[in-house]
Amino acid sequence: MKFLFSFFIFFISFSVFAQNNDLFEKATVAYNASEYEQAIGYYSEIVENGHHSANLYFNLGNAHYKLNEIAPSIYYYEKALLLKPGDSEIVNNLGYAQNMTIDAVKTVPINKLSEVYSKIVSLFTFDQWAYLAIAFMILFVLLYIAFYSFSYASQKRVAFISAILSIFLSLISVVLGFMAYNDYINDQPAIIFVDEVRVKTEPNSKSQEIFRLHAGTKVQVLEELNEWKKVQIADGQTGWLNSEEIKLLKDF
């Protein structure tokens, strides 16, 4: 019974994989023929099948960019970067798309300490930090066994020091992994998807307008109340807008 169930799961997975490959090839042919809307349809069908990859979202971004659909192109480039941080090709194309947006929001400079913290924590994802912590813990156990197995004092000394270093690095990895996970949870980026948004002081349509944003601008979602979301832009300004006016990037 278990064998039949496993075979069924394998068969379904293989069928979906084959279907996605076929759709990707059709999308590539359509894109190369400048049939960008058709390519977007094929790529979107792959996403609906539950497949997510940087390459897929990058191609979606390119197709939308060719149609001069700036907000969707930025949205998909940003999603691609979430799956493949720092990729130069994605960053370059995202830059081209951002240059076509209306809003010119200046980024608030961060202090050196925050910059160093960000660089260290973002070296790995939170799950990679967890794997690293496990690896150092396994190394600690092996070195602990070696400490009792060695006969010479010099060998024991090296094994002991290395074991202490391994457990220390394991604990550091756990802490950094927790920080990376906390940053990931708190980081809720979104893209403006309507031509113009009137950002309000309070979560209701009758409240005062603070500023306006336009399609393609990236915001950070801070909190939510009913159909309203409080957002922050790169220069630190905050306000409320309707949830339907933006699309969250982390909706995998």
pLDDT in tens, 83-116: 998 899 999 999 999 999 999 888 877 788 888 9
In this prediction, residue 5 carries a pLDDT of 39
User: What's domain 189-248's architecture?
Assistant: Roll (2.30)
Q: What is the dihedral of CA 141, 142, 147, 148, to 10 degrees?
A: 80
User: What's domain 2-98's architecture?
Assistant: Alpha Horseshoe (1.25)
pLDDT at position 51 over 50: yes
CB 180 within 8 A of CB 125: yes
What are the residues whose beta carbons fall under 8 Å from the beta carbon of 28, sequence distance 6 or more?
39, 59
**Burial of residue 44 (number of CB atoms within 10 Å: 0-12, 13-18, 19+):** middle
Q: How far apart are CA 248 and CA 220, in angstroms?
A: 9
Cα–Cα–Cα angle for 131, 133, 173, rounded to 5 degrees: 115
In this prediction, residue 85 carries a pLDDT of 84
Alpha helices in the chain (DSSP H): 2-32, 36-48, 54-66, 70-83, 88-98, 112-121, 126-149, 153-186
Least confident among 10-19, 40-49, 130-139, 157-166: 10-19
Question: How large is the C-alpha radius of gyration of the chain?
Answer: 24
pLDDT at position 16 over 90: no
**DSSP letters spanning 232-246:** E-TTS-EEEEEGGGE
Q: How confident is the model at residue 33 (pLDDT cuts 50, 70, 90)?
A: very high
In this prediction, residue 17 carries a pLDDT of 66
CB 96 within 8 A of CB 107: no
Read off the pTM. 0.81
pLDDT at position 4 over 60: no
pLDDT at position 14 over 60: no
pLDDT at position 54 over 70: yes
Least confident among 57-61, 93-97, 121-125, 185-189: 121-125
Q: How confident is the model at residue 11 (pLDDT cuts 50, 70, 90)?
A: very low
